[in-house]
Chains A and B, each alone.
Chain A
Amino acid sequence: VNRADVFINLRFDRRGEGLYLALIAGLVGLGLNPRCVLEVPRSRDRLHRIFDLIRGCAYSIHDLSCVSLATAGPFRVPRFNMPFELGLAVALTLAQQERPSRPVHEWAVFECRPYRLVHSLSDLNGYDQYTHGGTPAGILEVLGDLFHRLPSPPLRDAGDLMKVYRHLRRFRREALRADVFAARPFGQLVVAAREYALLV
């Protein structure tokens, strides 16, 4: 398990792009490494690889704010990938808690509105949700709160993390192609965020 790796689970589409960039900027600013399913090639054993990726991360963040009914396509169903991956992380934690000698995976759920999780996933009643209001500033704020106990991160101040986010947003606009939800642009964004975090 890499103590600096954080699995991020969110909706990979244009609507969620601001939150995606904010998560990358915030985590890299805190000295951590965002990891996500975009790094996993599409193959038959994809599920195993996703589980291995989550298992290799000390923490995971699951943003369920974009789970809603589809507006296009033949079926009006929500995408279940994000809650499913949250389930994998929760199962991993529960299994690890039975063997206390091993480090336990920690997970957190992000939502845009207070108490939305209580209605969408009542199995998690009693667990806290982090409310970010659907904004990048909100994401950076809750990240700072979630990782409050990190000893001496490179950046801690929300203003500094916001600077990294703004630079990263411009980098995305000027240097990357239309689709940023793939392994290569994801890596480029993380490298750019790392450089910006050193320079702001």
Chain B
Amino acid sequence: MTETDLDELLDAWRAPAPPPSLRAGLRTSFPADRRRRLWGVPLRWIVACAASAGALAVGTSLVTDPMMTRFASRMEDGNWVITTRMIDPPIARLKYWMRVSEGMTGNGAVSWFDHSAGTCVGYRLTRTPLSGGEYSVGVEQLTLDEIRRMHPTISTAGRLLPLPASPAPRIVKLGESFDIDLIAVPHGERIYDRVVFSSQAPDSVNQHEPPEIRAQTLRLANPVLYIDGQLQPGPAGAVRSESHGPTVWFHLPNQGRYLIALDPQKNPRFSQAGNVNGATLEFALEGNQYRLESPEPIATGGERPVYVFHDEGFQINSRSGLAETVLFGSAGPAYLYAK
């Protein structure tokens, strides 16, 4: 075969034209107010964080709160395992804010899924009660499949990262805390979980947010959903469910996802559909009445309008086994800016 023959054969493999959705997708993803963003986060959110932290946007003290999120699950003996996810340096919290999903199950598994990097990591905390308020605690790394099941909204296949270190089994007293490293970037961020066994239920993560952020935040703590007066079956398990953010959502089997916001940032996909007042959020859409109730306030500031976007095309990841389940969750500001 001559060089020319080979060239002609290779030419048989033709690349298709780019689909029109490539350019269209780029247009819709182009942020309208780039100058006011940092790491893709609208600047006013950052300023609010900074102001509340007393840092006033000076260098790396822009954000000083290292807490990313908090999980809690109740054990058989009535005590709580409270896991607070931390980041060092705290400024990196903004970098990860919109690109990470976190999950916890009732059997003590916690996970981290970085959408942007396509990486994930997770572990299960085994705990055996001993006498005198002590627990024997071990850490088992989760498999990729286990983590995927914990993140039903993510379609990325994901690449499993090992835990930076294999924590040895230990004896822990009630009230004593210990750390488990999740991510350790050389010369970069350290993301770790601070775990404490407690007889007290945890306070809300939301209470740690700056007032400016909290004012625009919706929070669903152990919510229940009624549609046209009928209570919908929620996810089972002993996890204390709390979702909070500028957008919260619920998923209904075969109907997609309903995203709810207090301030939709002029996003035309959201329309004013109802109100939130304390621990009750109600809206009407497409001929149905939806009512969310929570034991704790969903929003601050009395009665306020809510805006809703029904994302009918949204699908729960089939690997999760949760596609037929009513699910609740929250999302960062990115959803408000995506047109």
Are A and B part of the same complex? Answer: no
Residues of A within 8 A of B (CB): none
Residues of B within 8 A of A (CB): none
